[in-house]
């Protein structure tokens, strides 16, 4: 590589994230990672309890799952500083199996989901991330911000009036503390100060302890008490596949988001199988499984500035210590303090640039439509995976329609020869009406179709070309296809007649 080459410029633009060893050698970096892990652990507790309730299981199931997955993914994951734990999306998928068949079948489902994720990773599912357009990614981020904010609304409705000034005070601390110092994360300062104020002043507001009982013992290794039969596999397989797909999609999308924020790269395939290993470990300790937690990841990466696996590992360790050894202390943390943190995270996560009038004027309407569709379906279903899938489908349809209009067919006459110049990409969307652009009845005895400025991409186009040739033959006209590049010639030669069937 030479100086000034694109490769060198890309390397210069890509930041080198600190390694675990570098963090241990730097008191400043290590302190930041440790405190970030503590903040995330505190924020994980009410979330894990809430997701356990959604899944219909004991709060300890969600808490133990979050502890195990955070610790395991810190070693196996491909995206440093990303937080994996029990999540709402996975809880919604698992709720029916837990409700109808019990916790043991839920655990068996989590174990099978982990195996499926490892298989999908080996098959290269992570490479599919390249097919997610930027407009879908922007919609994903904006929908995520909206869902984080919406999830805090129940903590602000029907509560004592004192909750509101506590939330305002928390937001003020989060906004102004970083101007004083970044050595201690602002979320931790807000949680500690507001908890101290609530305890000292005796303010009666909802606390973490009100969300559910905290465990008093360590998780134990176990196997689900279910019959290991084909019937069991048939029962849990649909749920396991859904958990695997939803978990991978959310995790890989979150990894890509963190890549953009930190301007670094992650190992997506490693992240995929790492999620599988983490889910298997969660199931073996009686957990409910999960995937990357977007809100907590944003707290870790954006609010606290963490960049290494240390913060992820310590988030799990601190979570266990807090709920088992310091449960009484954690129980008095006001939910209003955590609400303030999550509100600021939602505001910081939203891509405000995407909705500026100047941006909307410059952006093609199709791109904006895809972003809006992604946001609407994600917020409507409260499922980021569904929103992303619908957004990708919308982007594919809009792209196909746009490219289809770029194909033109021009006719010219040269004595007793009719010449057709076909320009553009030929695939199912652009070739469906290709047969209607030829003058079969009035053309002279010889027709030349020039494909030198086009490319055949699929079997639909080969079938269309075969149909054109067949129609001309029915009129006694000889057709010559010219100008095909090597790839088109090979593809057309392999499929011609076979796909058109002479029709």
Instruction: Report CA-CA distances (Å) from 267 to 72, 243, 271.
Output: 16, 21, 6
Question: Taking residues 221-235, what's their average pLDDT?
Answer: 92
pLDDT at 497: 59
Could you read off the pLDDT of 320-359 as tens digits, one per residue? Answer: 998 888 888 888 989 898 888 888 878 887 888 889 998 8
In whole angstroms, give the CA distance from residue 117 to residue 313. Answer: 21
Report percent pLDDT > 70 for the chain: 95
DSSP output for 196-212: HHHHHHT----BGGGG-
Averaged pLDDT for residues 175-201: 88
Mean per-residue pLDDT for 241-258?
88
Spatial separation of the C-alpha atoms in residues 70 and 76, rounded to whole Å: 10
Record the tokens describing residue 395, joined without a space. 């982007």
Tell me if 288 sits within 8 A of 94, measured CB to CB.
yes
Is the pLDDT reported for residue 479 higher than 70?
Answer: yes
* pLDDT tens track for 382-408: 777 788 889 999 998 888 777 766 678
Residue 127 has pLDDT above 70, yes or no: yes
Q: Among the listed ranges 31-45, 203-217, 225-239, 305-319, which one has the minimum average pLDDT value?
A: 203-217
Q: What percent of the chain has pLDDT over 90?
A: 42
Q: State which H helix or E strand residue 116 sits in.
A: helix 103-122
Contact call for residues 460 and 427 (beta carbons, < 8 A) = yes
Averaged pLDDT for residues 302-306: 88
Q: How far apart are CA 268 and CA 120, in angstroms?
A: 12
For residue 447, the SS3 value is: strand
Name the CA radius of gyration of the chain, rounded.
28
- Burial environment of residue 388 by CB neighbours within 10 A (0 to 12, 13 to 18, 19 or more): buried
Q: Which of 385, 185, 188, 386 is nearest to 292 (CA)?
A: 385
Q: Please state, in angstroms and rounded to a whole number, the distance separating the CA atoms of residues 76 and 64.
A: 18
- Widest pairwise Cα distance in the chain: 99
Q: Please give the residue that has the higher pLDDT: either 38 or 3.
A: 38
| Per-residue DSSP letter, 333 | S
Check if the beta carbon of residue 461 is closer than 8 Å to that of residue 472.
Answer: no
Question: Confidence class of residue 501 from pLDDT cuts 50, 70 and 90?
Answer: very low
Question: Residue 7 above 60 pLDDT?
Answer: no
Report the pLDDT averaged over residues 100-117: 94
Residue 366: count of CB within 10 angstroms of its CB? 16
Strands across the sheet containing 446-456: 408-414, 417-426, 446-456, 478-482
The overall average pLDDT reported for the chain is 87
- pLDDT at 117 exceeding the cut of 50: yes
Give the residue-averaged pLDDT of 176-186.
83
Burial zone of 439 (CB within 10 Å; 0-12 exposed, 13-18 middle, 19+ buried): exposed
Could you tell me which residues are beta bridge partners of residue 472?
none
Helix axis angle for 268-284 and 230-262, nearest 10°, is: 130
pLDDT band for position 8 (cuts 50, 70, 90): very low
> Which stretches of 202-288 are DSSP H helices?
230-262, 268-284
CA distance 389 to 393: 6
Predicted confidence (pLDDT) per residue in 90-100, tens digit: 887 888 898 88
Average pLDDT on 69-93 reads 91
Q: What is the pTM of this model?
A: 0.72
Higher per-residue pLDDT: 14 or 305: 305
C-alpha neighbours within 13 Å on the C-beta side of residue 341: 31
Q: Which residue has better confidence, 66 or 95? A: 66
- Supply the pLDDT for residue 388: 85
* 140-149: average pLDDT: 84
Is residue 294 scored above 50 in pLDDT? Answer: yes
Q: 424 or 276: whose pLDDT is higher?
A: 276
pLDDT value of residue 325: 86
For residue 120, what pLDDT band results from cuts at 50, 70 and 90? Answer: very high
Report pLDDT for 382. 78
| Residue 498: φ, ψ to 5° | -70, -35
In terms of Cβ atoms closer than 10 Å to its own Cβ (0-12, 13-18, 19+), residue 488 is: buried
Per-residue model confidence (pLDDT) at position 404: 65
Terminal CA-to-CA distance of the chain, rounded, Å?
54
Place of tokens 């999908």: 120
Residue 500 has pLDDT above 50, yes or no: no
Instruction: Let me know: does 237 contact 229? Beta carbons within 8 Å.
Output: no
Structure tokens of 114?
A: 């982990």
The pair of three-digit structure tokens given for residue 392, joined into one six-digit string: 């990708």
């Amino acid at each position: 590589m030479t100086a000034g080459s694109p490769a060198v410029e890309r390397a210069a633009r890509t930041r080198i994230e600190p390694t675990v060893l570098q963090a241990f050698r730097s008191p400043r970096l290590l302190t930041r990672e440790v405190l970030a892990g503590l903040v995330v652990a505190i924020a994980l507790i009410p979330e894990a309890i809430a997701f356990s309730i959604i899944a219909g299981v004991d709060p300890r199931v969600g808490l133990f799952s979050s502890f195990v997955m955070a610790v395991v993914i810190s070693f196996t994951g491909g995206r440093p500083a990303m937080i994996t734990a029990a999540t709402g999306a996975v809880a919604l998928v698992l709720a029916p199996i837990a409700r109808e068949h019990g916790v043991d079948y839920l655990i068996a489902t989590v174990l099978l989901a982990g195996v499926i994720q490892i298989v999908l990773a080996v098959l290269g599912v992570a490479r599919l991330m390249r097919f997610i357009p930027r407009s879908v990614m922007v919609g994903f981020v904006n929908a995520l911000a909206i869902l984080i904010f919406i999830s805090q609304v129940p903590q602000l409705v029907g509560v004592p009036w004192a909750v509101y000034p506590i939330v305002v005070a928390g937001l003020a601390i989060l906004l102004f503390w970083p101007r004083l110092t970044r050595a201690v994360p602002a979320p931790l300062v807000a949680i500690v100060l507001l908890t101290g104020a609530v305890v000292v002043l005796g303010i009666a507001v909802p606390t973490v302890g009100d969300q559910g009982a905290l465990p008093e013992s360590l998780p134990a290794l176990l196997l689900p008490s279910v019959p290991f039969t084909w019937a069991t596999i048939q029962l849990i397989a649909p749920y396991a596949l859904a958990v695997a797909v939803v978990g991978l999609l959310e995790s890989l999308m979150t990894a890509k988001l963190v890549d953009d924020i930190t301007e670094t790269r992650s190992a997506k395939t490693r992240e995929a199988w790492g999620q599988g290993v983490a889910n298997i470990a969660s199931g073996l300790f009686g957990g409910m499984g999960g995937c990357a937690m977007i809100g907590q990841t944003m707290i870790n990466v954006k609010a606290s500035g963490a960049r290494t696996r240390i913060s992820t590992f310590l988030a799990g360790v601190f979570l266990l210590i807090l709920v088992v050894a310091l449960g009484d202390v954690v129980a008095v943390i006001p939910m209003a303090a955590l609400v303030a943190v999550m509100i600021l995270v939602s505001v910081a996560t939203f891509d405000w640039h995407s909705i500026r009038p100047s941006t909307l004027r410059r952006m093609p309407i199709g791109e904006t439509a895809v972003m809006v569709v992604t946001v609407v379906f994600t917020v409507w279903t409260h499922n980021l995976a569904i929103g992303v899938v619908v957004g990708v489908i919308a982007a594919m349809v809009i792209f196909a329609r746009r490219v289809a209009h770029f194909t033109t067919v021009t006719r010219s006459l040269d004595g007793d020869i009719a010449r057709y110049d076909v320009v553009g990409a030929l695939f199912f969307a652009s070739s469906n009406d290709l047969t209607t652009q030829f003058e079969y009845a009035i053309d002279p005895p010889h027709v030349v179709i020039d494909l030198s400025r086009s490319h055949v991409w699929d079997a639909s186009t080969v079938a269309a070309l075969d149909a054109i040739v067949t129609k001309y033959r029915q009129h006694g006209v000889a057709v010559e296809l010219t100008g095909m590049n090597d790839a088109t010639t090979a593809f057309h030669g392999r499929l011609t007649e076979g796909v058109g069937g002479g029709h």
